[in-house]
C-alpha cells in the first residue's frame, strides 16, 4: 500500500509539472506574439498616417474589448469548458493573423483593416485571459499556485520589456506581412501546447458536473454580489483600484513630463528609466517563485503597501525646489532605482494577493469575479489619466505624486486598523 501511495504521489507531481511547463510555453508564445504585433503594427500606423490620432485609435480599438466584454467573458468562462475557450481563442487568434496576412497580400495593409483586426484580436484575448486566469488554481497543486502566478508574471514582464525591442526589429528588418504569417503560426502552436494541459488536475470532482445556466444578467449580478459580500476581496480590491488611480497621478502622466520637460533627460534615458519598471517586476516575480508560500500575508501586505506609497511620492523629490541642482546623471540613476524598486514591490504585492483571490473565489464564480476585477482595474485608469492631464497644466508637477501618496496613506491607515481583515488575510 505504501508503495502505491508513493507511485500515486509521483504521478501527481509529474502531471503538476507538466501543466506548469505547458502553461508557461503556451503563454510565452501567445504573449510575445501579441506584444510584438501591437508594437510593430502601431509603428506601421504612425509611419503611414503621421497621425497621433490614428496611432491612438489603434490602441483604443485594442483596449475597448477589455472594458466592454470583460464581464461577459467571465460569465462564459464559468458556463463553458475553460480548456475549450483557451485553446479555441488562441486558435482563433492564429486564424485572424493568417487571414490578415492573406488579405494584405491581395489588398495591402489598410488602416481600417488594422483597426478591425486589432479589435478582433483583443476580443479573443479577453476571453482567453479570463479563462486561463480562472483556471490557474485547477492546473497545479495549491503549494505551486504562487510559483505558477510568479512564472506567469515573469513572462508578462519579459514580453513587456523585449516586445518593443523585438517589434522594432521586426518592423525595421522584416516584411510586416511575413510577420503576420509567422505570428499566426505561433498562436496556433500555442493552442496546440495548451490542448495538452489538464484543466481538471486540481479541481474538486463535484465541480466537474454541468451546472444550471441562468440569464446572463443574473449571473453577472451573482459575481458582483459575491465580490461585494467578501470582506477580503472588497477591501483589498478597493485599495488596489485606488493604487491604480494614484499611479496615473504619480507616474503615468507626471513622470514623462518630469524626465523630458523639467529635467531634460534624453529620449533614450527616458526609455531606459521606463523599462526598469517591468524589469523590477520580473526580478520580483522570479524571487517569489523560489520563496516559500505564506498562508497569512496581512503584515507583509501592509509593509509592502507602505513601501510602495513611499516610492510613488519619491517620484516628486527631484523636482521639489529644495532637492534641485543635481546633474542629469544623478537624476537618471535615481529614477532607475525608483522604478526598479517600484516594479519589484508591485510584484511582491500583486502575486500573493492574486493567489489569495484565486483561493477565496469558488471555481463556479471565479471567471465572473476575476473579470469584474480586471474590468474595474482597466476602467479606473482613464479617470486618473484625465484628471492628471488636466491638473498638470495648472499646478507644479511635484504636487501630483505627493497628493497621490497622501490619498493612499489615508486608505492604508483604515486598512491597518481593520481587525476583521487581519484575521481573514
- The confidence score (pLDDT) of residue 337 equals 93
- The confidence score (pLDDT) of residue 325 equals 73
- The confidence score (pLDDT) of residue 336 equals 92
For the chain, the domains span 2-200, 223-424
Closest CA to 270 of 283, 258, 278: 258
Write the DSSP assignment of 63-77 as a string of letters. HHHHHHHHHHHHHHH
CB atoms within 10 A of CB 51: 12
pLDDT digits (tens, 9 = 90+) for 138-152: 888 877 888 888 888
- The confidence score (pLDDT) of residue 142 equals 79
- Reduced to 3 states (helix: H, G, I; strand: E, B; else coil), residue 285 is helix
CB burial of residue 177 (10 Å; 0-12, 13-18, 19+): middle
- The confidence score (pLDDT) of residue 88 equals 93
pLDDT-flagged residues of the chain (< 70): 1-15, 43, 46, 49-63, 163-165, 167-172, 174, 204-215, 267, 293, 295, 424
CATH number given to 2-200:
1.20.1250.20
For the chain, what is the radius of gyration of the CA atoms? 22
Report yes or no: 49 and 357 within 8 Å, Cβ to Cβ. Answer: no
On the question of a common fold for 2-200 and 223-424, the answer reads yes
CATH number given to 223-424:
1.20.1250.20
The CA distance from 285 to 398, in Å, is 30
Q: Which residue has the cell 503611414?
A: 48
Amino acid at each position: 500500500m505504501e508503495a502505491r501511495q508513493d507511485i500515486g504521489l509521483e504521478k501527481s507531481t509529474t502531471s503538476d509539472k507538466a501543466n506548469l511547463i505547458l502553461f508557461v510555453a503556451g503563454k510565452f508564445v501567445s504573449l510575445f506574439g501579441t506584444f510584438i504585433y501591437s508594437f510593430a503594427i502601431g509603428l506601421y500606423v504612425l509611419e503611414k498616417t503621421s497621425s497621433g490620432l490614428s496611432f491612438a485609435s489603434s490602441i483604443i480599438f485594442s483596449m475597448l474589448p477589455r472594458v466592454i466584454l470583460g464581464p461577459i467573458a467571465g460569465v462564459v468562462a464559468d458556463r463553458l469548458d475553460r480548456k475549450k475557450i483557451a485553446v479555441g481563442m488562441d486558435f482563433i487568434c492564429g486564424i485572424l493573423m493568417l487571414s490578415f496576412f492573406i488579405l494584405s497580400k491581395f489588398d495591402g495593409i489598410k488602416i481600417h483593416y488594422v483597426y478591425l483586426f486589432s479589435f478582433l484580436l483583443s476580443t479573443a484575448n479577453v476571453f482567453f485571459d479570463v479563462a486561463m486566469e480562472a483556471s490557474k488554481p485547477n492546473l497545479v497543486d495549491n503549494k505551486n499556485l504562487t510559483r505558477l502566478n510568479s512564472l506567469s508574471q515573469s513572462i508578462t514582464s519579459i514580453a513587456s520589456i523585449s516586445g518593443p525591442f523585438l517589434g522594432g526589429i521586426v518592423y525595421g528588418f522584416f516584411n510586416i506581412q511575413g510577420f503576420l504569417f509567422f505570428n499566426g503560426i505561433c498562436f496556433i502552436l500555442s493552442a496546440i501546447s495548451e490542448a495538452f494541459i489538464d484543466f481538471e488536475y486540481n479541481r474538486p470532482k463535484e465541480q466537474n458536473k454541468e451546472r444550471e445556466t441562468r440569464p446572463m444578467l443574473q449571473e453577472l449580478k451573482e459575481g458582483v454580489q459575491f465580490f461585494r459580500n467578501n470582506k477580503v476581496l472588497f477591501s483589498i480590491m478597493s485599495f488596489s483600484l485606488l493604487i491604480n488611480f494614484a499611479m496615473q497621478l504619480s507616474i503615468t502622466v507626471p513622470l514623462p513630463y518630469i524626465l523630458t520637460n523639467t529635467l531634460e533627460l534624453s529620449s533614450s534615458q527616458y526609455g531606459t528609466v521606463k523599462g526598469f519598471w517591468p524589469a523590477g517586476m520580473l526580478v520580483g516575480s522570479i524571487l517569489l517563485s523560489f520563496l516559500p508560500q505564506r498562508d497569512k500575508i496581512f503584515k507583509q501586505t501592509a509593509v509592502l503597501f507602505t513601501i510602495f506609497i513611499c516610492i510613488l511620492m519619491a517620484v516628486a523629490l527631484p523636482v521639489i525646489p529644495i532637492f534641485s541642482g543635481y546633474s542629469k546623471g544623478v537624476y537618471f540613476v535615481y529614477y532607475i532605482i525608483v522604478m526598479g524598486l517600484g516594479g519589484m514591490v508591485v510584484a511582491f504585492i500583486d502575486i500573493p494577493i492574486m493567489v489569495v483571490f484565486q483561493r477565496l473565489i469558488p471555481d463556479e464564480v471565479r471567471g465572473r469575479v476575476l473579470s469584474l476585477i480586471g474590468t474595474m482595474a482597466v476602467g479606473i485608469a482613464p479617470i486618473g489619466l484625465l484628471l492628471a492631464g488636466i491638473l498638470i497644466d495648472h499646478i507644479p508637477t511635484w504636487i501630483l505624486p505627493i497628493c497621490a501618496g497622501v490619498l493612499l496613506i489615508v486608505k492604508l491607515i483604515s486598512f491597518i486598523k481593520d481587525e476583521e481583515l487581519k484575521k481573514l488575510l
